[in-house]
Structure 1
Amino acid sequence: MEQTSPTPDFSVPGDGRLPGPTALLREAVARGIITDDQALALDRLVREGGTAPDEPRDDERLRFVTGFADIFVTLGLVLFLGAATYFGYEHLGAVAGNALVAVLAWGLSEFFTRRRRMALPSIVLLLAFAHAGFSALAAALGVTGHGMPWPDLVGPHPFQALPLAGAALGAVLLVAAHYRRFAVPITVAAGAAATAGLAYALILATAPAFARSALAGLLFAAGLAVFALAMRFDLADPNRLTRRTDIAFWLHLLAAPLMVHPVLSKLARADGGASGAMLAVLAIVLVLAVVAIAIDRRALLVSGLVYAGIAFGSLIRAAGVTGATVPASLLALGVFILALSAGWHPLRARVLRALPRPWAARLPHPIGA
């Protein structure tokens, strides 16, 4: 859903040089002067004319802050909305209290997102709006647990499944309305998360035993679906000029733990951390590294690093090193991350050359293809 109204600038500024074509296109999109599709068309025109790129083409670029003002405003928002949440619960109850916070978050977005286009405050306000809206709906529909004012999502009972589905559906509609108004890139990931919750709640309502026993598989399937959606946005903007690339970043950040955690957590617990299982964990992490390099997205790999550290620790302990297992594990993990970071660009060129040429040419920043 494309918009031409002013939206938060989530792109990254240049390095002090005169702005080149790519930087100008990003700024024009951020200010609502041109649309995403027009930016892509202009970028193709520049490249067909032989103009050299004005910046590196194979790095993830995302702006969280435009200056210290973003941090200062975010601090104020956290304090204000946190206090509003507390007083709302105390004096209005869970439903009205959360609804109040959602209304406040929307109202503040009108100024800090739509008018000021501040990146970090926009992210915080979206998360506050989505959480408060979902919590208000869940409380109104009776999805609570242990006397707490927020929904119990750890293990809802079957009779709570349909109310949970209703709250999730309401959250999807709320974040869709928020995106239509403000177009904050992380909103699409929030909507995807709410949709995954809706699907799980519906499965829980119809087959509660299956939903609990197959939770890991359902999470993995949801991760694959979110990953496919992220790649759709990535492939639509291979030069990473428009809002689509920021949407893809947040979707990858959501998809990664959904795919990685169910598989690697089960392996990490297998046979009390046996060497074979730990080697399998490291093999999967290496596969994730190859995929992350191919699509030029580090988020997919970062989610597996915790389990890679656990695997390194188990293997080091199995080798007889018991006195310094944690430092040795951190050392091995640090070496792996630094080596991968230092060799990211040449490794990516090799991976893309190994892929079929039509595939490599469609991936973001098709260097070496």
Structure 2
Amino acid sequence: MENPKYELIIEAQDMVGQLYGLLGTATATILIDDKNDHSPEFTKKEFQATVEEGAVGVIVNLTVEDKDDPTTGAWRAAYTIINGNPGQSFEIHTNPQNNEGMLSVVKPLDYEISAFHTLLIKVENEDPLVPDVTYGPSSTATVHITVLDVNEGPVFYPDPMMVTRQENISVGSVLLTVNATDPDSLQHQTIRYSVYKDPAGWLNINPINGTVDTTAVLDRESPFVHNSVYTALFLAIDSGDPPATGTGTLLITLEDVNDNAPFIYPTAAEVCDDAKNLSVVILGASDKDLHPNTDPFKFEIYKQAVPDKVWKVSKINNTHALVSLLQNLNKANYQLPIMVTDSGKPPMTNVTDLRVQVCSCKNSKVDCNAAGALHFSLTSVLLISLFSLVSESKLELAPILSLNAVRM
């Protein structure tokens, strides 16, 4: 809409307007600028709105009238909530297309805290009013908001729930009793519990009182346990129509128990029947448990199975030992039972057969890859002994490595 305008034709005549005087005309165009001389007024004094608890978004559009030019700031409305919004749960913005006030919920409302809200809204223009015009009672309106009750899911407290237990507790042990409350306090609903996610199938929950107990032996070394923590999820379901569900997380920290025997590696070795160096192989040991239930490991020959004095096991460090011969053996395959024991209380022991193949290496003809195996064993002995020495004496590593490299 264009601003209204007036066109005037102005005539000028000389000779004081005598008939024989000369005449001239000109056109004057006058544009009328709109001033904010009309205050905006609500179309009604009260507005009604309803909203479900927990919902957000626009709940009502407030309408106003303004007689000023719609293309100017004298017409455009600016809304303000002046009362009833202490928690800043509501906001109002102007729709630029029709000048309506869009009242929105920006923080979910709780029916159990307050089922009704009353807001006092003021509307003004972007441009100031002219001095002789003021905002009157029609520039304010009241909005009555009714909050509708919605069945909310029960809430676990605390969440997550955390307990610490030894990994080998007996089946049927009670871990805890979960606690979930229903936010719908005015509905007096009952709650039932169930297992939602129990990856290893270790747990059971009483559907009435929420007591959680074990249905299997808890194992810290299980693939379902991460960083010694087992995670399970439970549901709390209320009796609403329809029922609502809440989810709670249980974190079980499993303390390590010495329930895994150590094992050795490798379990096979080769050596020449006429070897000058009688070293056979370096054995390492590992354990699935945690300290102090792992190393230092103790390596021994299982004497009951090997009564003769042919083999020797020497400690290198806390996790490795050297198997060597006390004399050359004839070409054959031998089974050497190695017993390894961890440092747990009580300790656990494992006996594993080390398969040793004694090969004929005469005349540079080797009928098994004994030379390679022996070279690896000798190099490994030197390196592991070296690192053990550095670890115990805190010597500088570079000079020692250089020295041994020259000797080798």
| Length-normalised TM-score, structure 2 | 0.21
Q: Which is richer in strand?
A: 2
Flag the structure with larger Rg: 2
Higher RCO (Cα < 8 Å, 6 or more apart): 1
